[in-house]
Structure 1
C-alpha cells in the first residue's frame, strides 16, 4: 500500500471580487481534476473568519500522480491564471504519519 503524497496550499486573494473569480477558476479546473485517477482528494476550504483565504488539501496516490496532475492542461491553465487574483501562495508538502484516507486502486 502506498503512503500517498499530500500538500496544503494557502492562497490569499486580493479582494472579494478576486476571491469570487478565483473560486470560479477553481470550479472550472475541478472538472478536469475529477478525471485524474491518481488524485484522491482535492478540496478547497475557506477558513472561518478569513473570507479572502482559500486553503487547499490535496492527496495523491504517490508523487508520480502529483507530477501527472501538474502537467494536465487544466492544471497548467489554473497555475497561469490564478496569479492575477492572489497576493500570496504558501505550499506545505506533508509526510503521512497515520490516519484514515481513501483507498487507491491502480487501474488495469
Structure 2
C-alpha cells in the first residue's frame, strides 16, 4: 500500500470556495475511474476555515502514479495553485489499519 497526506492552506474565503468547487468536480471522477485509489478523503480542519487535509491511500505506488496521470487529476493539479497560500505533502507507509487490508 502507498499513501499520503496533503495539507493545504488557502488564500482567503473566496479561494476556499473556488478550491472546494474544484474538489467537488474532481472527486466523483476519482470514485468512478480509479479502482486502485482505495481512500481519497478530503477534510476541513475544525477552527481553521482556510485549511484542508487530504488523506489518500492507494493499492500500491503504481496505482498512485496512474492516479496522477488521470486528466481530472492533472486539471486539479494545474488549477489548485490559484487558491493556495501553501501546501505540504507527507508520503506514508502503512503499518497497520482497520478498514484497509494490507
- Per the alignment, residue 8 of structure 1 pairs with 5
Runs of 4+ in 1 over 2 A off after TM superposition: 101-104
- Per the alignment, residue 94 of structure 2 pairs with 96
Q: Gapped runs of 5+ residues in structure 1?
A: none
Deviations 1:64-87 (A, max 9, x none): 000000000000000000000001
Could you tell me how far 1:99 is from its partner in structure 2?
Answer: 1.4
State the TM-score, normalized to the length of structure 1. Answer: 0.89
Secondary structure in structure 1 of the residue aligned to 2:86 = strand
State the TM-score, normalized to the length of structure 2. Answer: 0.95
CA-atom RMSD in angstroms: 1.2
Secondary structure in structure 2 of the residue aligned to 1:32 = helix
Structure 2 Cα separation of the partners of residues 101 and 57 of structure 1: 14
Report matched runs for 1:67-78 at 5 Å: 67-78=65-76
Larger radius of gyration: 1
Secondary structure in structure 1 of the residue aligned to 2:95 = coil
